[in-house]
Structure formats: C-alpha cells, structure tokens
C-alpha cells in the first residue's frame, strides 16, 4: 500500500506509510543507492527491513527528484541529506512514519491497543498519572518519544525530565527544558504524535 497520510503543517511535513507490500516491492519503490543497499544487507529480520524500506519509499515517492538520503548520527539518530531539513522516523506493526521539518523534530507512531498501563510508572510522573486517564497513556508515551527525538539529548529520564502539561483534542503541550507543542493523529489502527 502506498502513502496513506501526507500532512503539511507550517514548516513540517508528515508522511505515514501502511506496510502491506512484500519486501521486494518496497525495495523497488525505495530506489536505494549503493550505500543504502549495503546498509539494508546488514539489517536482520523481514519486518525490520520492510520498515526501513517503507521510510525510504515514502521519501522517494514524495520527493522523486530531490536526491534525498538518510544517514545516521553517532547516536543512531537519522540525518537527512539533500535538502537541509531535519528528519524523524518511527515504526509500529505495519506502519512507518516520517516527519520532515526546518527545525529539530520528533515523531512516534504506535498501535492504539498496545498496553502502556503496566509500564506507565517508568515514563509518567505521579502527577501525570493523576492528571491523565489510563486511556491516554499511549498518547503520552508517544509525546515523550517525540520530544526525546526532537531534543536529541542523551541520558534522559522520561519520568523526571519531561512533563506533559495538557492534551486538548489533537493538540498537546509539554515541557522538556522548554515548552513544546505537539500534535496527535488518532486512527483506528495507529496513533501518531509529533512535534510542531
């Protein structure tokens, strides 16, 4: 399946790909460079390779002439070359998400049926657990993952260093050294949270 969501918002662009194709089709659609083929050969597991290919296929189909490529920092964070923008990627069962922005950005995509309640004490403060209902824990996890990616800091304690202040519809407000605005998209099979 091709791109199922393409949202442009101020200086950011969000792409969501539903991964239903076989790996061989994703390989053709991704139009990999020689160095990308080398990196792909080192990835283990069909699911991991399909997620990796889906991110590149989404970029190629959205920007066919741009010559974009994804490298990685020494910490493993994705780096986009070819247009000067920042990139963040995320995967979950059958979906890949890409966020491009003029400033550091972060995205997380999750299955809405994933149980975050049993680990909430590890990433939410007591104050956050009281402020928000258990049904929002997945959304809060996604927000903290997106913040972590956008900030690019090491040694972060999600419970102590970040606070989700407000969730109002699709808008979220958080604090992680500075205020951050986030947006969420809730679909039947996936939920995405990203920095704006």
Q: CATH 3.90.470.20 spans which residues of the chain?
A: 3-105
**How far is the C-alpha of 109 from the C-alpha of 93, rounded, in Å?**
9
pTM of the model: 0.92
Residue 1, pLDDT score: 59
Q: Could you count the other beta carbons within 10 Å of the beta carbon of residue 28?
A: 11
Domain spanning 3-105 has what CATH number? 3.90.470.20
pLDDT tens, residue order, the chain (196 aa): 588 899 998 889 999 999 999 999 999 999 998 989 999 999 999 999 999 999 999 999 888 877 788 888 888 889 888 778 899 999 999 999 999 999 999 999 999 999 999 999 999 999 999 999 999 999 999 999 999 999 988 899 999 999 999 999 999 999 999 999 999 999 999 999 999 8
Residues in the chain: 196
Residue 114, pLDDT score: 93
Contacts 24+ apart (CB under 8 A), 169-177: 172/139, 172/143, 174/143, 174/144, 174/147, 176/147, 176/151, 177/151
């Amino acid at each position: 399946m091709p791109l199922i969501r393409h949202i442009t918002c101020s200086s950011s662009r969000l792409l969501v790909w539903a991964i239903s194709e076989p790996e061989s089709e994703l390989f053709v659609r991704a139009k990999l460079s020689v160095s990308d083929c080398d990196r792909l050969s080192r990835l283990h597991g069909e699911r991991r390779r399909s997620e990796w290919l889906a991110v590149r296929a989404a970029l190629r189909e959205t920007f066919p002439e741009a010559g974009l490529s994804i490298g990685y920092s020494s910490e493993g964070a994705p780096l986009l070359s070819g247009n000067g923008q920042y990139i963040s990627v995320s995967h979950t069962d059958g979906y890949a998400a890409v966020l491009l922005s003029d400033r550091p950005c972060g995205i997380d995509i999750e299955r809405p049926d994933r149980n975050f309640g049993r680990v909430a004490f590890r990433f939410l403060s007591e104050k956050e657990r009281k402020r928000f209902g258990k049904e929002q824990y997945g959304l809060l996890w996604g927000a903290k993952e997106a913040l972590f990616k956008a900030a690019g800091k090491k040694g972060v304690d999600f419970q102590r260093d970040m606070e989700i202040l407000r969730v109002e519809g699709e808008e979220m407000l958080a604090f992680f050294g500075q205020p951050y605005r986030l947006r969420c998209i809730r679909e039947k099979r996936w939920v995405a949270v990203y920095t704006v």
